[in-house]
Amino acid sequence: MEGHKMPMVRLPFPDAEVYFEPHFFTEEESDLYFKELMGEVNWQQESIKMFGKELPMPRLTAWYGDKGYTYSGLHNKPQPWLPVLLQLKEKVEQASGHTYNSVLLNLYRSGQDSMGWHSDDEAALGQEPSIASLNFGGERKFSFKHKYRKDTKPQSINLSHGSLLLMQGPTQHYWLHHVPKTARAVEPRINLTFRKVVR
Ligand SMILES: O=C(O)CCC(=O)C(=O)O
Ligand SMILES: [Mn+2]
């Protein structure tokens, strides 16, 4: 492992290397980042093709970075970095000891917005991708389930305002993750996943 500089807590999942820091940013810093990202990011309503139909994605998205990348069947033509995104990139790079060249942003407008089960295992991300995920706004549950081992229980964590989650090593090979819908009243949430597109 390239080694992270922060003493982040490693979650004890088999076949995974997942670290979590619930208070990577203070409440005040997180409030400012939330506002800035809400206002400055060029949020898009993309659609997905399902059963031959075009359906709106259950969240808004935006893609910034150095290189194009195909995600969920969409080709994301990246927009040039915003200063706030470069600032956040630098902070997560310091914490993780990895470098990133792109970021996917997700805006969950309400508890009805969600993300389905998947792994971030696209060839474009290389063999053992390091993904740094930052969270601002309404806290949402994030669950993991093992792809192959039936004896391994699904795992969940709450992605709090200002938290940082790192997924690296074999995590994407063995585990799926998702953000389920919730009937609870939740504030809008912004998630940023920093990635390194290698080809
Ligand atoms: O919103 C989240 O925490 C999950 C985002 C995610 O899994 C992704 O963008 O690949
Ligand atoms: Mn993901």
Eight-state DSSP code of residue 79: B
Extract the tokens encoding 33: 């980042």
- Check pocket membership of 92 for ligand 1, CB cut-off 6 A: no
Q: Residue 87: pLDDT band by 50, 70, 90 thresholds?
A: very high
- Check pocket membership of 61 for ligand 1, CB cut-off 6 A: no
Q: Which residue among 108, 140, 193 is best mutated to probe the pocket of ligand 1, counting the most ligand atoms within 8 A of its Cβ?
A: 193
Could you give the percent of the chain with pLDDT greater than 70?
92
What number does the ligand 1 atom closest to the CA of 177 have?
7
Q: Which residues are within 8 A (CB) of 123 and not within 5 positions of it... i.e. 6 or more apart?
A: 199
Nearest protein Cα to ligand 1, atom 3: 191
What's the order of all strands across the beta sheet hosting 155-159?
A: 115-118, 175-179, 140-146, 155-159
**pLDDT of 1:** 41
Q: Residue 65: pLDDT band by 50, 70, 90 thresholds?
A: very high
Distance 170 CA to ligand 2 centre (A): 14
Is the pLDDT reported for residue 166 higher than 50? yes
Task: Report the 10 Å Cβ neighbour count for 19.
Answer: 19
**pLDDT of 169:** 98
Ranges of each domain in the chain: 9-43+56-195
What number does the ligand 1 atom closest to the CA of 165 have?
3
Ligand nearest to the CA of 104: 1
Distance 71 CA to ligand 1 centre (A): 12
Eight-state DSSP code of residue 23: T
At 95-112, the pLDDT tens digits run 999 999 999 999 999 999
Distance 52 CA to ligand 2 centre (A): 24
- Check pocket membership of 133 for ligand 1, CB cut-off 6 A: yes
At 16-49, the pLDDT tens digits run 999 999 999 999 999 999 999 999 999 999 998 8
Q: Which CATH number fits domain 9-43+56-195: 3.90.1150.10, 3.30.420.40, 3.30.1120.80, 2.60.120.590?
A: 2.60.120.590
Q: Which residues are within 8 A (CB) of 199 and not within 5 positions of it... i.e. 6 or more apart?
A: 123, 124, 126
At 183-198, the pLDDT tens digits run 999 999 999 999 999 9
